[in-house]
Amino acid sequence: MSASAPCPLCAGEGGQLLWRQTEYRVVRVSGAEAEDFPGFYRVIWNAHVSEWTDLTEAEQRLCMRALNGVERAVRSHLQPTKVNLASLGNVVPHLHWHVVARYDWDSRFPAPLWVPAHQPVPAQRLAEVRERLAGCDAAIASGVF
């Protein structure tokens, strides 16, 4: 992103919108980023702030309630080996949390999802997770917060 490019999380939703309130929204990531990680959600703060400690304590609590709700939906519906949480923002410095269902059979496990793939993805396993996405999305969209 060049310095003059508009922030993509100000200009767009950043994924498939599941829940929105004044302060934040929850999206599911689709497309290439989610190809090997179907259970990939984001909690995105609506205002353009960069760091977690740019939020007030009350704002953090709100955001954390959403993060918890998404993690609980992911654990309950997608039953991952591990949930990964991360707020990086090096490329897009607009506060957003990644919530990603990881499996011991996924293409990067146990490495972080951003490294190159080191094993093939078992198509059947991936399909099983994709089948459960609608339930997870519905739990989030019904407001688990």
User: If binding is defined by CB under 8 A, does position 93 make contact with its own copies?
Assistant: yes
Q: Which is nearer to its own copies, 35 or 54 (CB)?
A: 54
- Chosen residue from 33, 114, 125, 138 binding its own copies by CB under 8 A: 114
The C-alpha atoms of residue 67 and residue 59 are separated, in whole angstroms, by: 12
- Chosen residue from 17, 59, 89, 141 binding its own copies by CB under 8 A: 89
**Contact window for its own copies (CB under 8 A) among 17-25, 30-38, 39-47, 83-91:** 83-91
User: If binding is defined by CB under 8 A, does position 64 make contact with its own copies?
Assistant: yes
The C-alpha atoms of residue 8 and residue 63 are separated, in whole angstroms, by: 20
User: If binding is defined by CB under 8 A, does position 121 make contact with its own copies?
Assistant: no
Q: Which two tokens stand for residue 77?
A: 């519906």
The C-alpha atoms of residue 34 and residue 14 are separated, in whole angstroms, by: 12
- Chosen residue from 60, 62, 94, 132 binding its own copies by CB under 8 A: 60
> Dihedral of the CA atoms 50, 30, 136, 79 (nearest 10)?
-90
The C-alpha atoms of residue 88 and residue 98 are separated, in whole angstroms, by: 9
- Interface residues toward its own copies, by CB under 8 A: 50-53, 60, 64, 67-68, 71-72, 75, 81-91, 93, 102, 109-112, 114-116
